[in-house]
Amino acid sequence: MERLTTAYERIWVDGRMETQYVAKEESVMEIENKLGKYEDAEEEGRLFITPCKPGDLIYEVDVIERPEWDCYVNGFVVQDVSAKQVKYEDDWIDWDAPNVYTSEKETRAKAEQLIRQRNRLESHTVSEPGWIPVTERLPENDSYVLMSFENFSLPLVGRYVDDEELGGAWYLGDCIDEDTCLANDLFVNAWMPLPKPYREDE
């Protein structure tokens, strides 16, 4: 798109700077037509101003889970922009991606928030017993526990029964000869010991 104006920086006596636009040699009608198209686009919601332009810096919050959890901020040079995406590191990313920011201050604030949340989670896990992933440890054979499921939102009471021939299986409540959790399309992903029963004198 060819510009119809030239931008100049005007400096006032008091030191203020102001951008002033001067029309090129094209006719006034051509400039008016172009301005009219911009005004139409703005009124119809088709005029999109990108948050940054090629050459600007864009920031990303990176979270690493393994080998140890870490969170840090990366800065990248913007290569290209469109109405919906920004390109950096040779990849196009949506403007509304949750980890991408145009402000370094905002990015660092988000990273610090994630670090605080992680620290709270770790201190809670250390001080209070919680869910134990089945990949880490299984409960004692045939003891009742609270089971969590990857495909069901409510925890349920059940038990794990180890069988040397068939392998172990999870069962709901007191079911012995009934189908296993797996047979009922319930996938146990974690468990925790049951609390002690309530006693009025305690």
Digits of tens for pLDDT over the chain (202 positions)? 567 677 778 888 888 888 777 777 666 777 777 777 778 777 777 667 778 888 999 899 888 877 778 888 988 998 888 877 888 888 888 877 878 888 889 888 988 888 888 777 666 544 346 889 988 888 988 889 999 999 888 899 999 988 766 678 899 887 766 678 888 888 999 999 988 888 877 5
Those residues with Cβ within 8 angstroms of residue 10's Cβ, 6 or more apart along the chain or in another chain: 17, 18, 19, 20
CB 159 within 8 A of CB 170: yes
- Taken as a whole, the chain contains a residue count of 202
Taking the complete model, does pTM exceed 0.85, yes or no?
A: no
Work out the number of other CB atoms within 10 angstroms of the CB of residue 196. 7
Those residues with Cβ within 8 angstroms of residue 187's Cβ, 6 or more apart along the chain or in another chain: 149, 150, 151, 181
CB 176 within 8 A of CB 129: no
CB 160 within 8 A of CB 153: no
**Alpha-carbon 181 to chain mean position:** 32
Residue showing tokens 């913007």: 78
